[in-house]
Amino acid sequence: MEQTLANLHLIVTGAGGGLGPAVVDALRAMGATCHTPTRAELDLTNEEAVATFYASVPALWASVHVAGGFSMAGIEDTSLAAFTEQWTTNTVTAFLASREAVRNIKRTGQGGRIVNVASRVVLDPPGGKTAYVTSKAAVGAFTRAMANEVRGTGILINAVLPDTIDTPRNRAAMPHADTSLWTPPESIARTVAWLASPENRSVSGALVPV
Catalytic residues: 132
Q: 192 with 160: CB under 8 angstroms?
A: yes
- List b or e across 143-173, with b for residues whose CB sees 16 or more CB atoms inside 10 angstroms: bbebbeebeeebbbbbbbbbebbbbeebeee
Q: Which spans in the chain are helix H? A: 20-29, 47-56, 80-86, 93-108, 130-149, 168-173, 185-195
How far is 180 from 151, CA to CA, in rounded Å? 39
How far is 118 from 91, CA to CA, in rounded Å? 9
Q: 134 with 81: CB under 8 angstroms?
A: no
